[in-house]
Copies of this chain bind each other. A is one copy, B any other.
Amino acid sequence: MNTHPFDNAIALAATGQDGWEGRTSPDYANFIGPYGGIMAAQALNAVMLHPQRLGEPVAFTVNFAAAMADGPFEARARPARTNRSTQHWIVELLQDGQAVVTATALTAIRRETWSGDEAVMPAARAPQELAPPTQPARVAWLGRYDMRFIGGSVPYPWDGQDRGHSRTALWVRDNPSRALDFPSLTSMADIFFPRVWLRRGKPSVVGTVTMTVYFHADGAQLQAAGAGYLLAQAQGQGFRNGYFDHAGHLWSEAGVLLATTHQLVYFKE
């Protein structure tokens, strides 16, 4: 009854071996179809729920192959290879028997080793000192995240100026707040508005075509992050002939690198 909208959105009902049924959630609607992050979380959740899963997610790549229509979808996740401590997955979300999302995942049992991070969280004011965006949220999913921009917020009103860079940093957490887990971290890896809008100071038709997330944190570290804010930072790398990519990082409020992420985005002009 009191289920968080995120848990509702990623819920899957088993339909047989390697198969589930899910349903799009109006809470995470985007301009056309659902927010990409929620589809990524749904695909990963099929792996999380699989009775044969070994270990926790370490790497996840999701490809957005077509627009998802509002309504039910089929999820398929199968272990393509299971080793002693690692497992490789192939995942698809389908509608009318056609792939809408494809994905691969690696889950693994991790053990403690030497550790050291090179991607260090930038200095930033505390989230509580920063105001939420004042623009009205034109799509439902924006209301599902509490965002506090540190720099590189949506350049609105549009000025059409080439900023020469497309770097954004923000604090983000679920709204209402919710303890972090692998699906919600995956969804937040897609939180960045299109880099080309920032770079050029104007909107254009865009769509993420593929996103990869590397999980540096294990379940215990996600638990430690709890319902706190994450610092999310991304910057475009190359924009050319209809596609651009960005590289992103997600740290816990305490400064622990939780995940790195990359994506490639279609843009019309």
B residues in contact with A262, CB < 8 Å: 212, 214, 247, 260, 262
Is there contact, CB below 8 Å, between A235 and B58?
no
Mark contacts of A193-230 with chain B using CB atoms, 8 A cut-off: 1 yes-contact digit, 0 otherwise.
00000011000000001101010111000000000000
**Which chain B positions have C-beta within 8 A of A92?**
80
* A65 interface contact, C-beta 8 A: yes
Tell me which of B100, B110, B199, B243 contacts A242 (CB under 8 A). B110
Tally A residues with Cβ within 8 Å of B. Answer: 63
Q: Contacting chain B: which of A2-10, A32-40, A46-54, A82-90?
A: A82-90
Query: Does A212 contact B212, Cβ atoms closer than 8 Å?
Result: yes
| Docked CA distance A249–B199 (Å) | 20
A54-107, CB < 8 A from B: 58-59, 61, 63, 65-66, 80-81, 83, 86, 88, 90, 92, 98-100, 102-104, 106
Query: Is B65 within 8 A of A200, CB to CB?
Result: no
